[in-house]
Structure 1
C-alpha cells in the first residue's frame, strides 16, 4: 500500500511539473530539495517505463534519477542476464556494455537471436514483458512438399525460413516452454508467414489453427483463411515488410508450471479440391507476444 501511495503521489507531482514547465522557475518545486536522488530513483522504479521517460523530460535532476541503472534494472526481466548470455546476434559483450535504459530500448526495438539461431527474444515496450519467436528450423513441418530451409530471405530475423508448396496436405507444429515466458500474463501465438506467387487461383488458404497444452490436446481448433490483406503484419524496426501474421490462439501463463505450450497449423484439404492454385507458403516462425 505504501509503494502504491508513493507512486500515485509521484505521478501527480510529475504531471504538475509538466504543467508548470513553461512558467517562471520560481513557481516550480525543486524536487532535489525535497527528496534525495536515490529515493527518487526508487520511487520511479515502482512506476513504468513510460513514467520514467516522462520524468526524465521534467528537469536535469529528475533525468539523472529516471535514467539510472537502478530504475531500468527493475523494468528488465529478472533473468535478462542469463538470456543475453545466450545471444549470438548481437554478441552478448555488446549488450552487457549498454546502460540498463539503452539495453531495455534495444531489446524492445531489435530482437536478439539466441543459441543456435532458431529462437529470438525481445521485450514488449510498454510493459517490459518477454516476447519470443520460434524459428522455422525448430518447427515440425510435414507434408506439403516442403522444400526445406532457404538461406538469406530478405527481411527475416532468421537466416533460414521454411517453404511449403501448397499442393497437398501439410501440418506445422511448434512448442515453447512456458517457464521462460513472463508470469501472470496472457499470451497470443502468431504464425509469421508470407505467401508466394499464385497462379490460376485466389491468394488465401484455408487452415485450422490450434494452441493447446498436453492436458487439452484433443480440443478442436478454429478454421481461418491465410489472407494477405487480413493478416498484414505491422511494420517493425527489424524489417517486418512483407511478412504477415495469423493469430493462432491465446493462453494464460500463471507461473510457467504448465510445461510446453503447443501451436499447430493444418491445411484443411480444401485447397486442392476447390482451387486451382500453385503457390508457396514461407514460414518464418511462431511468435509469442503478451496480449493487450
Structure 2
C-alpha cells in the first residue's frame, strides 16, 4: 500500500522494460509508471542538450512521450548524425553520416560520387566509390557522447553497387582505438555474405573485449535496407576519451569501385 509517488521512485530505479511490465500489475502501478519521475530517469542525462541539436523540433507533453519518440532515429547536428535510444535500456546509439567521416579523397569527383536523397538513407547524402587505388575510412566520437560503462559495437553501414569491382581482391584491416590504445582489430575480405572473417587478435588488455567469433559473417543485413561490417567493440567506462574506428587497406594498391557508404554506427552490445 505504498503511495504512488513512492512507487514511481522505485520504478525509476529499474529499466524502461521493467516499468512497462510493472504497469500491468495494478492501477496504482500503471499510474506510477506514467510519471515524469520515472521517464526522466530513463532519458539520457544530456537529453535537454540533445533536443537543442535536433534538426526538427519536437513538442512533447510527458517525458514518457519524449522517451518513445527518441527510440526512433532522429537527425541532429545539421543532419550529419542520427541519434536514438534503446527501448529496453535507454542507452544511446549514434550513426555518423558519411559527411562526418574521414574518407580518402572523398571530395574528389574523380574518385567518389556524392548522391543526394537516396530513398533508403536517413541522411540527405551518401557517397559511392567511383574508382580508387587506396581506401581509408575513419570515424571518431567521444565516449562522453555515449552511455557510460557500456560495451559498444562499431559498424560500417554500406552497400555494394552493381558496378563494383576490386573490393574482394585483398582483405581490409579493421580496428577500434580508445584514447591511444588499440582495443580491437582484425581483417575482413569483401567476397560475399557466406565468407568468414579472418581475425588477428590484438594483444589482450583489460579494456579489450572478446573481439569477434571466427564464424561471424563479413556483411550482415540490416532492417533499414543497408548492410554492415562490424569494425570492433570497445568499453566506454567513466572517463571521456576519443574513439577512432577505421577500415583501411592492409597492403598494396589496386583499383576498386562500387562501395556505397552511409556512415558508421555505434550501438550498445547485448
TM range, smaller chain: 0.7 to 0.9
Q: CA deviation at 1:193?
A: 0.5
Report the secondary structure of 1:158's partner residue. Answer: coil
Q: 1:100 — aligned with what?
A: 63
Q: Distance in 2 between matches of 1:101 and 1:156?
A: 28
Post-superposition Cα deviations, 1:96-134, rounded to whole Å, max 9, x if no partner, equal: 4242112212212x2111122111111122211111111
Q: Distance in 2 between matches of 1:38 and 1:70?
A: 8
Q: What displacement does 1:149 show?
A: 2.2
Cα shift readout 1:136-176 (whole Å, capped 9, x = no counterpart): 00111115853242101121111111211355221111111
What's the CA shift for 1:75?
0.7
Partner Cα separation in structure 1 for residue 68 and residue 191 of structure 2? 32
- Report whether the alignment pairs 1:155 with 2:120: yes
Q: Does 1:82 align with 2:70?
A: no
Residue from 215, 236, 243 that aligns with 1:261? 243
Q: Does structure 1 residue 44 correspond to structure 2 residue 27?
A: no
1:248 aligns with 2:212: no
Shift of 1:200: 7.5
Correspondence for 2:205:
none
The match for 1:288 among 253, 266, 270 is 266
Structure 1 residue aligned with 2:26, among 36, 49, 59?
A: 59
CA contact (8 A) 1:76 1:128 kept: yes
TM-score where L is the length of structure 1: 0.75
Q: Per residue, is there more helix in 1 or in 2?
A: 1
The alpha-carbon deviation at position 247 of structure 1 amounts to 0.8
TM-score normalised to structure 2 length = 0.81
* 1:118 counterpart = 2:74: no
Q: Does the Cα contact within 8 Å between 2:168 and 2:189 map onto a contact in 1? A: no
Deviations 1:219-253 (A, max 9, x none): 88311123553322331xxxx12x01111011111
Q: Report which of the two structures shows the higher radius of gyration computed on alpha carbons.
A: 1
1:102 and 1:228 map into 2 onto residues whose CA distance is 42
Gaps of 5+ in 1: 1-33
- Structure 2: gaps (5+ residues): 194-216
How many residues of Structure 1 are paired with residues of Structure 2 in the alignment? 243
Structure 1 pair 202/117, CA: closer, same or farther in 2 (3 Å)? closer
Higher relative contact order (CA closer than 8 Å, sequence separation 6+): 2
RMSD across aligned positions (CA): 2.5
3-state SS, counterpart of residue 221 of structure 1:
strand
* Aligned pair partner of 1:224 in 188, 212, 220: 188
